[in-house]
Amino acid sequence: MRLFLALVPPPGLRERLGALADAAHARCGGRRMPDESLHLTLAFLGEVGDDLAGELAEEIRSLAIPAGCWTLDAWGHFRCPGIVWVGGHRPDAALQRLHERLWDRLEAHQLPGRPSRFIPHVTLLRRAERLEADDLPHVDLEWSYNQVTLIHSINDGQAARYVPLARSRAT
Ligand code: 3AM
């Protein structure tokens, strides 16, 4: 199973991110992420066997993370493979700590793949035709979070579908 850990936006925020995705799509083209797939990836685990996936799901259910609030105030892009995203101008210390803490746990399960750098972002477009546009709307969002979700990414030929497997305890 292809798994990742993410923050999932509450419905009001998801709508506002969706509106930004619409604006970006109108200007940059590419494939707009569906509203129900919008998320902040904290850790990409890759392919994991069923037994380990079950263990990880149990562990996530018993986990409590510190509540936090992430400020989104910037557009960004990754040239390859044409990703347009929103995130923060400044590094967010609480998210960095959460990322480190989650990877400590994943590595205790011998999971490889801790990246050398974590750039928190919400992907809005993939395979964008233009990566930068002057007239994108101002980003000014606050994301209050208190829960991490373990997500199964199912790729059945079309765009990936994301199915939540387990959520940490709400704090
Ligand atoms: O949150 P975003 O959309 O940036 O790009 C994939 C997506 O990130 C990323 O994991 C998230 C859920 O699919 N991803 C997919 N394959 C990856 C890989 N091999 C990967 N991240 C790192 N390495």
Active-site residue 138, yes or no? no
**Closest protein CA for atom 20 of ligand 1:** 44
CA of 51 to the centre of ligand 1 (A): 22
- Whole-number Å distance between alpha carbons of 10 and 109: 30
Nearest to 33 by CA among 153, 167, 168: 153
CA of 168 to the centre of ligand 1 (A): 21
**Closest protein CA for atom 19 of ligand 1:** 46
Nearest to 166 by CA among 69, 85, 70, 45: 45
Q: How many CB atoms lie within 10 A of CB 141?
A: 16
What distance lies between CA 87 and its chain's CA centroid?
10
Residue 12 structural domain? 2-167
**Is the CB of residue 130 less than 8 Å from the CB of residue 38?**
no
Tens digit of pLDDT for each residue in 88-141?
A: 999 999 999 999 999 999 999 999 999 999 999 999 999 999 998 888 999 999
Tens digit of pLDDT for each residue in 16-54?
A: 999 999 999 999 999 999 999 999 999 999 999 999 999
Domain count, the chain: 1
- Whole-number Å distance between alpha carbons of 25 and 19: 10
Active-site residue 39, yes or no? yes
Q: What is the CATH number of the domain that holds 142?
A: 3.90.1140.10
pLDDT exceeds 80 at position 158: no
**Closest protein CA for atom 10 of ligand 1:** 44
Nearest to 70 by CA among 138, 125, 146: 146
Can you give the pLDDT at residue 24?
A: 97
